Amino acid sequence: DSGVTQTPKHLITATGQRVTLRCSPRSGDLSVYWYQQSLDQGLQFLIQYYNGEERAKGNILERFSAQQFPDLHSELNLSSLELGDSALYFCASSVGANTLYEQYFGPGTRLTVT
């Protein structure tokens, strides 16, 4: 158990809808990272927050957004969903802002768009 929790575990929704994925980092960790894992794209970095502020952006679509709250949990919002958004979404946390710190991954949220 990494100490990172993600909810929900599974999510099935229709095209055009909007969903919110939630992540609670390990106690004491200030950074939260979001990743998307799909069969065709592999594991891709989406975005990082550190202590409430956006720190780095990867291949995140404009339809997607994220935020980190004062209690350090984070939410990833996916809107106008398309079939291609079906994937496993991972959250990871680390103690520092820099990616040299070990990242601890949650179990993931499996999103299926029908």
Partner 1 sequence: AQSVTQLDSQVPVFEEAPVELRCNYSSSVSVYLFWYVQYPNQGLQLLLKYLSGSTLVKGINGFEAEFNKSQTSFHLRKPSVHISDTAEYFCAVTLNTGNQFYFGTGTSLTVIP
- Interface ranges with partner 1 (CB under 8 A): 2, 4, 33, 42-45, 48, 55-56, 58, 90, 92, 97-100, 102-103, 105-108
Closest distance to partner 1 from the beta carbon of 17 (Å): 25
- Quick one: 20 or 101, whose CB is closer to partner 1? 101
Nearer to partner 1, 3 or 16 (CB): 3
Q: How many Å apart are CA 83 and CA 29, to the nearest integer? A: 33
Q: How far apart are CA 3 and CA 39, in angstroms?
A: 26
- Judged on CB neighbours under 10 Å (0-12, 13-18, 19+), 9 is exposed
Residue identified by tokens 């339809």 is 63
Question: What minimum distance in Å lies between the beta carbon of 60 and partner 1?
Answer: 12
Q: Say which residue the tokens 């939630």 belong to.
A: 22
- Spatial contact of 28 and 95, defined as CB atoms under 8 Å apart: yes
In the complex, the smallest distance separating the C-beta of residue 42 from partner 1, rounded to whole angstroms, is 5
Identify whether 8 is preceded by a cis peptide bond (ω within 30 of 0): yes
When the beta carbons of 65 and 101 are compared against partner 1, the nearer one is 101
**Cβ-based nearer residue to partner 1, 26 or 79:** 26
Closest distance to partner 1 from the beta carbon of 99 (Å): 4
